[in-house]
Amino acid sequence: MATAEFGLALRRWRDRVEPEAAGLPAGGHRRAAGLRREEVAQLAGISVDYITRLEQGRASNPSTQVVEALARALRLTGLERTHLFRLAGLHLPGPETISGYITPSVQRMLDRLTGTPVAVYDAAWTLLIANQPFTALMGDPSRWRGVERNGVWRHFTSAGSYVRYTPEGRRAHEKGLVGSLRETSDRYPADPGLQSLIAQLCAHSTRFAELWDAGAVGRRDSNRKIIDHPDVGTLELDCDILTVTGSDLRIMIYTAEPGTEAADRLALLSVLGTQSFAG
């Protein structure tokens, strides 16, 4: 159970983080230099009401996922993250569970890629963090909660996506998603969240269940994607996926070949996204 110090720590660390450091615009009148609750909620994928109740001590049993998301949003160091888990009355996730911790070195890399769409996923393809250009390109993930933040879940249960697939490309993509999740399941067989995700996918998606039962293997590889964006039109982009050794984090990066129409549209999209975000 979280102690009263948990809420105090959240407020103290929230006040410490400057908006620019978290990739947010600093415009508008601010009573404090730090992050607003609404901004922490957006960064962590948690409702503003829940963050308010945590800070005020009216919610005393945050989950491991919530504490991990708050540690990411507040850019805590390793020692600070450990302290926050202790204040929440929780043990740090062990090596048998999928890590959602973004190391300072990975965070520094993200901070430097301000003009490039970048998102970080955990080993089960749950979105941990996305920068502003990625949000402008692929849609705002801040409203997603729980399982909605998982890319495999969204692909198999939701029709909403800007990515255009050929029938053959869709089959290959789906096989890669299922195979990647199976590979992750082999590495983390004792992770209850992962097993719950797989069970929910089998129950809600006939296509996923078919591929899972068929023993699909493989991985989600880097490739070129065609994205039909509602504001700037069609973009053909390279999508590269990097894996962080030791944590199995997946870093997804979209880039365009210099001098192409896609590069111009991607640059325009970054500007439009900034204006929309600031508004």
Longest dimension (CA), the chain: 57
pTM for this model (two decimals): 0.83
pLDDT digits 0-9 by tens, 155-168: 999 867 899 999 99
Coil/strand/helix, residue 234: strand
pLDDT digits 0-9 by tens, 230-263: 999 999 999 999 988 878 899 999 999 999 999 9
pLDDT band at 28; cut points 50, 70, 90: low
Measured in degrees and rounded to the nearest 5, phi and psi for residue 62 equal -65, 145
* 66 contacts: CB under 8 Å, gap ≥ 6: 44, 46, 50
